[in-house]
Amino acid sequence: MSENTNISADVPDRPEKKRKKAAVAAITSIEDSYTGIGASRGIAIGTSYAFEKEQFEHENKSLEDKEIDNEIERFLGALHRSEKELKKIERVTTRKLGKSYANLFEAQIMLLHDPVLTETITARIRKERKAASIIIDEEFGRYLEQFINSDDQFFQERACDFRDIKERIIRNLHIRKLHSWIPEGTIVISEHLSPADVILLSRSNVKGFVTDTGGKTSHISLICKSLNIPMIVGLGNLSQQVKTGSQIIIDGSTGIVVINPAEKTLLRYLKKRDEELRYEADAFRTAEQPAYTKCGVRISFYSNIDFKEELEGLQASGSEGVGLFRTENLFIDGTKVPSESEQYNYYREMAETLKPLPLVVRLFDIGGDKLLYSPVREPNPNLGWRGIRILIDVPEILESQLRAVLRANTSGNIHILLPMISSLEEIVFIKNSLEKLCGEITSETGTTCEKPFIGAMIEVPAAVEMIEEITSAVDFISIGTNDLTQYTLAVDRNNVIVQDLFDKFHPAIIRQLHRVISTAQKNRCMVSICGDMGSDGLALPFLLGCGLRKFSVVSGDIAKLKKTVSRFTLEETEALAAECLRLGSAAKIKGCLENFQAAR
C-alpha cells in the first residue's frame, strides 16, 4: 500500500465523511487484535513502521601488537561521537519537554566520562587483545544482567539506559549513522525503545508507539504522556509479527492493538477518537477551575511527580499541589545515595516554589539492589528487602533523608509519606526517629523544628488488614493501587506472561478500596489515591461512591478527571459503589461501571 493511502492521513480541507470513506476503502486484510498494557492514553490510526536497530557481529580475533593502539583510539572516538549524539538529544529534549527529562541524558553523558569504565575497557583491550566491541559488550553485560533480572522497576529503568549506551558506543565504533528519521505519521512497532529513540522519532510526527517490553511507569511511557503520543507496551513478540506498511489502530487507554482493522472497527475507533479529542479540548479550557460533583461537592486533584522541573506546569494542569513526589529518582546513577545537603536543597526549592500548596515527599522506596554496599543479593526485591525495611535497617539513609526534609520544611507545607507499610511498629519507628532528629535540629539552629504530617502508603494486604490501627496512628494515607493489586492477586505487574491476570477491578481490590476509604473517614484520617486507578475515568465514580475526595495523578490527566467528576452526583456514585461491591467478578464490575457511564 502506498504512503498516499495511509488511513491516518488527516487532510484539513477534506470533509470528515470523505476522509472516513477513503480510510475504510483502504482496508483489505483480515483483522487481528492484541492486548498489551496501555502506557499513554489516546487513539492512533495509521500505518505501522517496524523499527529495528542495526545489529553488529563482533570481530572475534586476537589483535596484533600494531592494532591495539588503533583499537583503543576507535573506542575513544566512539565515546566522543556518542557524547555528541547525546548532547544533541539532550537539546531536543529540553526544547520539547523541558529540563527534567533532559536530565536522563545528562546521566548517560556522565557515564561516558566515567574514568573507571574507560580505564577498565582500555586495559582489557591491551591485556586480552580483543576487539573493543567484545569488551564493551561484556562490561555492560555484567551490569545489564543484574538490572534486567531485578524485580525492582526503578532498576529495570537503568537496564534500558545501559543497553542504550552500549548499543550507541558499539554503533559508533562502526561509524554508522544514527537511525532517527522515519516516514511521517506512522505508528512505530519495536521490540524495545529507549528514551532517546522516542525523543528522536517523535520529530517525524509519530502517531503512536508499540513495544514488546516495558511498563506503564517507564521513562518512555512518561515521555509519551508528556508528548501526548499514545503508547502500548508489553505485547510479547508483536514486533516479529507486524511488518512495515500494515494498517493499525492502537488504543492507549485499553491497551488494544488492532492490525488490519475491519470497516466497522475502523469506524468505531474513528468515532471514539473524535469524541475523546472533543472531550479533552473542552476539559482543558476549564482545567484551572476547582472540581465539583454535579451536586456541588468539592473534589481535589494533586500531581504525582518525579522531578522538581515538573512543578512549572502544575497550575496550568489544574493541580492543587504534589500528592506524591518519588524521591528515589534523586539516586545518583541509580545507586549512589544523595547527600543530606543535596536533598535539602532539592526539597527546599520545591517547597518554596509550591507554598502554600502541599508537597508530599515519599521516603525512598528502593530495593536492596540499588545500594552499592548492599550486604545481600536479592532473589526477589518485590517481596524482600525494600522500602521501609531498608530505611529502618540502614539508619544513615533514613536519618539523612529525614533531616533534609525537616530542615527544608520552613514553610510547613512538606508532608512525609512512608512506603510499603505493613505494621504499626514501622510507623512508630519513624515517628521516634523524627522526634529525635527534630530535637537535634532545634538544638543546632536555635529555632523550633516544624514537624510534618506523617502518612502511610497502603499498598500491601497486611496494611489493609491493619487499616483501623494505621489510620489511627497517622495523619493521612495514600492508596497505591498498582502494588496493592500486584500483592493481593500475586501477579507481577511487569510480567507479560500473566499481565492479563493483573486486574484492578478484581472484586478483592474493589472491596479493599472500600474498606480502606471508609475506615479512614471514620477515624478522621485524610485519604487519597496515588496509583493508576486514580487516573481511570471508569473507576472514578466508584471511588467517589466509596467516599474518596482526594486524588493524586499524572498532571496531564487532571483536566479530564475534573470534567468527568462534574457528571455525577454523590447519591448516584454511592448507589453504584454498593452495586459493585455485591458483584463477584471483574467482568461484571467493569460492565456495571461502563453501563453507569453510558447512561450519563
Length of the chain counted residue by residue:
600
Question: What are 211's strand-pairing partners?
Answer: 190
Radius of gyration of the chain (CA): 25
Annotated binding site for Mg(2+): 459, 483
Distances (CA, A) of 366 to 386, 416, 471, 516: 5, 16, 24, 25
How many other C-beta atoms lie within 10 A of the C-beta of residue 55?
A: 8
Question: What are 245's strand-pairing partners?
Answer: none
- Smallest Cα–Cα separation from 478: which of 323, 356, 350? 323
How many other C-beta atoms lie within 10 A of the C-beta of residue 357?
A: 17
**What single-letter DSSP state applies at residue 35?**
E
Max CA pair span of the chain: 83
Catalytic residue among 160, 224, 449, 530: 530
How far apart are alpha carbons 563 and 276 in whole angstroms? 12
> Does the annotation mark 506 as catalytic?
no
* Per-residue cell: 63: 589483535
- For 138-178, give the secondary structure using H, E and C: HHHHHHHHHHHCCCCHHHHHHHHHHHHHHHHHHHHHCCCCC
- For 63-77, give the secondary structure using H, E and C: CCHHHHHHHHHHHHH
Q: How does DSSP assign 88-139, residue by residue? A: HHHHHHHHHH-HHHHHHHHHHHHHHT-HHHHHHHHHHHHHH---HHHHHHHH
**How far is Cα of residue 27 from the mean position of the Cα atoms in its chain?**
35
Catalytic residue among 219, 415, 506, 514: 219
> Does the annotation mark 415 as catalytic?
no
Annotated binding site for phosphoenolpyruvate: 326, 362, 482-483, 493
The catalytic residues are 219, 530
